[in-house]
Structure 1
């Protein structure tokens, strides 16, 4: 019993310690906005009011209603291959992922 509790505690500590820090600065959010404009705005609305240019592509401001945007971190690193049918495959670097996620969080 005590060993199981210790293992659960250690696993929780490792999980929390491995979670990336997302320092929220205006520069990071703006860089995320630039990435969204470059890679995503042809299909997705990347602001708080506009409709998506591609009807089947969800506006970024609604993504947090579907799932926590932090859950996109792994997909952005490995290359998103799902989404809407015409979505291209792309991969972000670690600093780009943090900036992009901060931008998405700013739309909530």
Structure 2
């Protein structure tokens, strides 16, 4: 797999956080989110996260790319707000367009979180 750059034009300009009522609508789906095993190439490790299809109907419209009909590329604060839980360093880099409920994530191999 070639290294893929992230198309930041497919994101909101800044993270758009969920309101409490929006988050409440998503809570019922969190236990049904499926996380793939990790796989890798020479540079990155990858995983995909499969959201329950019904969950897409509860996600706010401004999280979607109207032209593509899929979710935008989400900032970490946005995907964590949806209830996706994974360790640090993962970046949402693509949506699998034939199956828009599948989000693709990557992070550098041997990622080490910054120490403060």
Decide: shared fold, TM above 0.5: no
Identify, as 1 or 2, the structure richer in helix: 1
**Structure of larger gyration radius:** 1
